[in-house]
Chain A
Amino acid sequence: MPTDSPSLRAALLALSLCAVAPFTQAQDTSRAPLLDHGRLRRALTRFASEHAELVTRLELGSSRRQLKIDALRLAAGSLERGRPGILIVANINGPHVYTSGIALEIARDLVARYRTDPAVKQLLDTTTLYVVPRANPDGAEPRFKDGMVEKIGTGWNVDNDRDGRTGEDHASDINADGYVSWMRIRDAEGEWIEDPRDRRAMRKADASRGEVGVWKLIREGRDRDGDGKVAEDPGRDAEVNRNFAAGWEEHDPRAGRYPTHEPETRALCEFVMGHEDIQVVLVYGDQENLSVEPASVADDAAASDRVPPRGLRASDAALLKELGRRYGKIVDRKVTGSDDTAGTFQAWTYEHRGLLTIALALWTVPLDAKSDDEAKSDDEATPDDEATPNDEAAPDDEAAPDDGEDDDLPEPSDQAKQLAWADAQGITNFHLGWQRFEHPELGEVEIGGVRPFVTIEPPDAVRGQIVDEQVEFLASLAPLLARVQLTGVEAEVLGGDLVRVRASVENPAFLPLFTVWGKRTRTTRPARLQIFVPEGSQLMAGERQHLLWELPGSGGRKDFEWLVQTDDVSKIGIRVETKNAGAASAVPEVK
């Protein structure tokens, strides 16, 4: 066979890839499919043009590699001043490609249900939804490439291994199985062992139990720079979602050169700053603050060297807790989120822009998925599976204590738990197995491990479910958003033409006008209350204009009064305006 023909080889490779990877787009017919950049753009364009009355396509800017960052605006009716906005940002973490499909499908679902579902109708009638399905297009690309790799960095290169060359030794798919996975090498200095609870899984040896590591576990790749280390200077180190100013970690290669040096980061900042109507931000990614109660500090936590401590404030934590309670009624799924917020978008929108920010992990591999009985049936299901040829990989492991007493074994590692879940789900190729490979620099190694993206991407059925849940949750948010009202707008004639005017600004909704950070940073615009007196009349007492920097939710109220000398009370006007919580006007009612 003329395998030296490159095009033929590529075609063969593509064929074999389709056969292995269940989630590649060729087969992905689920409700929230995985779409590469081109397909996603086309889908967005088509969707927007088919529903022009509700959907507008926007652009935030371009990625480092010149891919456009698209957004959708969903809103029915006119965009009157102060109409609150909700911003949804998905796929800001490069490998979380599937969240793009979720976001797009949510948008489609909202539009489809606009006429039939009153809650959805209220959402689209009273708020403006901004959906950024793929904030990090460069980060999504490796998902669709041969040599599929979970790589987060997309940006500025540093010389990680300090050899005077940057990005010269990156991970790669050296066994040409379509994935950049893991290599394990038998090595007395290795720290890893096979998990005795599931020998496909690798975990660190626990010296306190007398375990001795026998494997080195490293990224799949070559030693391209011949320094004895594999894939230690991968290139494109900076991560979009570590490049924001809040908690930015200077000199960490992942953090980038300076905050907003990554074009995606800056584009998102500019978008948020350019849309003062945004009241709430939702980020679909690797963090969670609704189904997990996040840590918080007191609202007035003391500053050190003028700098207040970072993170969630107690009053805002209480808001998230209540939203979390409601969310829990819709979403019954445990997730684990990262609590590393350094330099993230969600930290910036909350801590620096004062916006209530909801971080949703949507799905992570359930780690407590099974009972003991299920575990037994799993054991039967596991071996001899064609897709996980791990018989090579379960050899006489001299390191792990193998006394046959299950009770004496430690807790399964997270990876073993993930495998148990996959087995219970009947997912057959969750693990690639461990394949012997003659490495050009390292000699004999084994390549394999958990297949890239399977721990990130929920199965098809779950993805559809996530869409339904998020649509329901979003619709439930509409009545909770802060909104200003005028109440008790009255005029009392004191005698002659002197009138005392009273008015209250009230927020009947659950959410306050300002988060704790919103008040502190003054980035959220104050509500502006104005009194207009007709010509010939005169304001005798009180201010023409008040700026409100505080208005709690659930009926929070502020009272105002004025003295006006006028012969026509009906021409007095009171108006309250906000950028993101509505507006109201009233004429005082004569008592």
Chain B
Amino acid sequence: MRLLLHTAALTVLTATALAQDESTGFAGTAAGKAPRVEIAWNRLYDVDEIYAHLDRLVAAYPERLRMHPTVGHSVQNRDLRVYVLNNPETGLDTEKPAMWIDGNVHGNEVQGAEAVLYTAWYLLENYGTNERVTELVDRAAFYLLPMQNPDGRANWFAGAHTASSSRSGYQPVDSDRDGVPDEDGPDDLDGDGHITSMRKRIPGEGTHRLDPDDPRVLVRVPADTKGARGDWVMLGREGIDNDGDGRINEDGPGGYDMNRAWPSMWQPGHVQFGAGPYPLYWPETRFIAGFILDHPNIAAVQSFHNAGGMILRGPGAASFGSYPRADVRVYDEIGRTGEKMLPFYRYMILWKDLYTVFGGFVTWTYEGLGIISFTNEMWSRRRQFPDANTPAPDDRHFFDDHLLMGDGFIDWKPFDHPRYGPIEIGGFKKDVGRVPPSFLIEEETHRNALFCLVHAEAMPEVVIENVVVGEGSGGVRTIDVEFRNLRAIPTRSARTAEQKIGTPDRFSIEGVEVLAGGFRTDRFRPEAIELAEREPERLLSENGVGGRGVVRVRWFVRGRGEATIRFEGEKASNVSREVTVR
């Protein structure tokens, strides 16, 4: 880790040098130009390094990136920093639709933080040169939390771990209920800095045998094979019975799941492992929920995980039923675009295509808050061999041997175990299997970051169009207005409308006397109007303006002068337009 920090310090200097000499090299299309802040995208960064890179971006682009003053703290007192990417020249972040992007709620699922960092970097570096980036940054804001679970990440980086350990947060939990928390986790018995696997040779009495072509690989002997017996047994993760209760590795650090802790369809631990004693029990989750609830302008959510190549949405459980059809259309449009952008990723419904999750984060942001939300499970092992004709895409050893020169595997070595006696310890390292190898990290983060931008571009944008003041008679005139949403996501999702979440959208007119008014229900029949009961100058709508939809309003007014027509909503920028009534 020390070495990595050193590298980070070096790149600061390099970046400064580059900024001074713009003629250095040719940057290629995606990056757009020689970046002001160089970040090596072929590596994974520890907690402090991720924050350091973001702080470098803040220093380089202080006008468009800042750290939000409200900082959360993890169980082990690490910062939870939300970086706000916004162009203040076009308004406050809170007045624009915003996308929330986070990663790494599962401590071992690390590359989400790099994807969040990349998103910030890409938007800042390409602002002003790329037209769409500029337009997006001018009209939308981003709330970027690189790590929901910095403790999990820090421990995964620093400690001996497997690809799937350090998933939990680090509040001690007495998982085996013996009165002592966290006293029997895996142990790095051979002191090589890794937790791998244990196997033991018991000739003729085992469940596995060695693959004759590759003795590193254990092959299960089918139970129904007559007479044939294996010579090896698998003994699980490297470890001993630390607490003397007869079991091995049954009470490791933490032992809960911060992606099962969110309020919608939350279920206690005996139904949903890891949910905690009540929703948002852990400080990380409570901080994040507070931030999101304080920002009703959040109109899109991405929460990065690994692995498996999935673009996931809710529901998390079959008993929820289905999401409303109008929202499913939006989900499908963005999700299917993502499938094309992200090779080997599939757009999936959590409970149906993966497994049942109660109290998940993105199910809360949608079911509880009405926000179109995805979780990408980053990295698909099929990317190791993108050519479908390549044999054995699951052959991890072939990839490791030929493309990593064997760096990802620790060969089996003998060890004398206190309970099992002579055994062998070996296996793949923690950064094999769930995170991309270095040479694919940049591609993985780029594609996922750009998927976020597709999602962000879909956030609602309302314009006021076709304002027509009618001729009228007897001093009464009609004013027809079209409020058009240019984007795919409605200003109020069907879920938002159905559950009456937040504040309804307001369509108002000011400056003239309004006698009556309402929403038009048939564009060809101006007399088809849902008349407002009262306050016709301030119409409210639970449904808002649909994705690429139009809301037509007709007002009957008296008098003359300058009138202001306004749209106000939680998840789209307010807009107004002046109209002269003569």
Interface residues of A (CB under 8 A from B): 159, 162-164, 226-228, 244-246, 248, 250-251, 257-260, 266, 269, 273, 303-308, 348, 351-353, 520-523, 525-526, 528, 543-545, 547
For chain A, what secondary structure do more than half of its interface residues adopt (helix, strand, loop), or is it mixed?
loop
In the bound complex, do residue A307 and residue B319 qualify as a contact, i.e. CB atoms below 8 Å apart? Answer: yes
Q: CA separation between A250 and B266, bound complex, in Å?
A: 10
Please give me the residue from chain B that is nearest to A162 by CB atom: B504
Q: Which residues of chain A come closer than 8 Å to B318, judged between CB atoms?
A: 305
The residue that A250 contacts in the complex, of B264, B269, B280, with Cβ under 8 A, is: B264
Q: Which of B268, B368, B500: most chain A Cβ within 10 A? A: B268
Q: If A251-B500, A259-B278, A269-B277 touch, does A352 touch B268 (CB 8 Å cutoff)?
A: yes
Known A245-B279, A251-B499, A251-B501: A520·B246 in contact at CB below 8 Å: no
Please name 5 pairs of A and B residues whose Cβ atoms are closer than 8 Å in the assembled complex, sorted by A.
A164-B504, A227-B534, A522-B177, A523-B277, A544-B245
The 8 Å CB contact of B542, one of A162, A304, A526, A544, is: A162
Q: Are B264 and A526 interface neighbours, CB within 8 A?
A: no
Among residues of A, the one whose C-beta sits closest to the C-beta of B317 is A305
A544–B177 CB distance below 8 A: no
Give the distance in Å from the alpha carbon of A227 to the alpha carbon of B367 in the complex: 30
* Nearest B residue (CB) for A266: B278
**Range class of the B interface residue count:** 35 or more
Are the CB atoms of B319 and A305 closer together than 8 Å? yes
CA distance A259 to B263 in the complex (A): 7
> When the two chains form their complex, are residues A273 and B277 in contact, meaning their CB atoms are under 8 A apart?
yes
| Interchain CA distance A251-B495 in the complex, whole Å | 11
Given known pairs A226-B534, A269-B278, the reply for A245 and B268 (CB within 8 Å) is: yes
Interface residues of B in 230-273 (CB under 8 A from A): 244-246, 263-264, 266-272
Q: Which chain A residues lie closer than 8 Å to B69 at the CB level?
A: none
> If the complex has contacts A307-B319, A545-B178, are A162 and B289 also in contact, measured as CB distance less than 8 A?
no
**In the complex, what's the smallest C-beta–C-beta distance from A343 to chain B, in angstroms?**
11
Any chain A CB within 8 A of the CB of B382?
A: no
Bound: A273/B269 CA distance, A: 14
Q: Does B362 contact A (CB under 8 A)?
A: no
Contacts of A543 in B (CB 8 A): 245-246
Tell me the minimal C-beta distance from B358 to chain A in angstroms: 8
B28 contacts the other chain (CB 8 A): no
- Do B368 and A250 have beta carbons less than 8 Å apart? yes
Q: Does B533 contact A (CB under 8 A)?
A: yes
* B384 proximal to A (CB < 8 A): no
Q: B534: nearest residue on chain A (CB-CB)?
A: A227
Smallest Cβ-Cβ distance to B533: which chain A residue: A228
Chain B min CB distance to A159 (Å): 6
Q: Which of B177, B368, B500, B535 contacts A162 (CB 8 A)?
A: B500
A520 and B319 CA atoms in complex are apart in Å by 21
The CA of A251 and the CA of B496, in the complex, are separated in Å by 10
The reply to whether the CB of B506 lies closer than 8 angstroms to some CB of chain A is: yes
> How far does the Cβ of B175 sit from chain A's closest Cβ, in whole Å?
10
Q: How far is the CA of A269 from the CA of B267 in the complex (A)?
A: 16
> Majority SS of interface residues in chain B?
loop
Give the complex CA separation of A303 and B267 in angstroms: 13
Contacts known (A259-B278, A269-B278); A159 close to B264, Cβ less than 8 A: no
Instruction: Choose among B278, B318, B358, B501 the residue with the greatest number of A CB atoms under 10 Å from its CB.
Output: B278
Report Cα–Cα, A266/B277, bound state, in Å. Answer: 11
CA distance A250 to B359 in the complex (A): 12
Cβ-defined contact, B279 with A258, below 8 A:
yes
Q: How far is the CB of B240 from chain A (nearest CB, A)?
A: 16
- Asked whether any CB of chain A lies closer than 8 Å to the CB of B134, the reply is no
Query: How distant is the Cα of A349 from the Cα of B124 in the complex, in angstroms?
Result: 50
Interface flags, B492-527, vs A, CB<8A=1, else 0: 000000011101101000000000000000000000
Give the residue among A269, A307, A351, A521 with the most B Cβ atoms within 10 A: A307
In the complex, the chain A residue whose C-beta lies closest to that of B268 is A352
| B179 on interface, CB distance cutoff 8 Å | yes
| A163 / chain B contacts, CB cutoff of 8 Å | 504, 540
Which interface residue of A162, A226, A304, A520 has the most chain B CB atoms within 10 A?
A: A162
A258-B263 CB under 8 A given contacts A245-B278, A273-B277, A305-B317: yes
Contacts of B503 in A (CB 8 A): 159, 164
Contact residues in B for A257 (Cβ distance below 8 Å): 263, 293
Interface membership of B356, Cβ < 8 A: yes
With a CB–CB cut-off of 8 A, which chain A residues contact B293? Answer: 257
Q: What 3 A-B pairs come out closest when comparing CB atoms? A: A305-B319, A258-B263, A245-B278
Q: A307–B245 contact, CB under 8 A? A: no
Q: Which residue of A lies closest to B176 (CB)?
A: A547
**What 1/0 flags go to B277-288 for Cβ under 8 Å of A?**
111110000000
* Nearest-Cβ distance from residue B216 to partner chain A, whole angstroms: 37
Chain B residues with Cβ under 8 A from A526's Cβ?
Answer: 177
Question: What is the CA–CA distance of A246 and B535 in the complex, to the nearest angstrom?
Answer: 41
* Residue with the greatest number of chain A CB neighbours at <10 A, chosen from B358, B499, B500, B533: B500
Q: How far is the CB of A248 from chain B (nearest CB, A)?
A: 8
* Chain B positions 302 through 319: 1 when the CB is less than 8 Å from some CB of chain A, otherwise 0: 000000000000000111
List 5 additional A-B contacts (Cβ < 8 Å) besides A251-B499, A259-B263: A250-B263, A257-B293, A258-B263, A259-B266, A525-B177
Please give me the residue from chain A that is nearest to B568 by CB atom: A164
Residue pair A245, B540 in contact (C-beta under 8 Å)? no
A259 to B506, CA, bound (A): 30
Please, which residues of chain B bring their CB within 8 A of the CB of A162? 500, 504, 540, 542
Smallest CB gap from B278: residue in A: A245
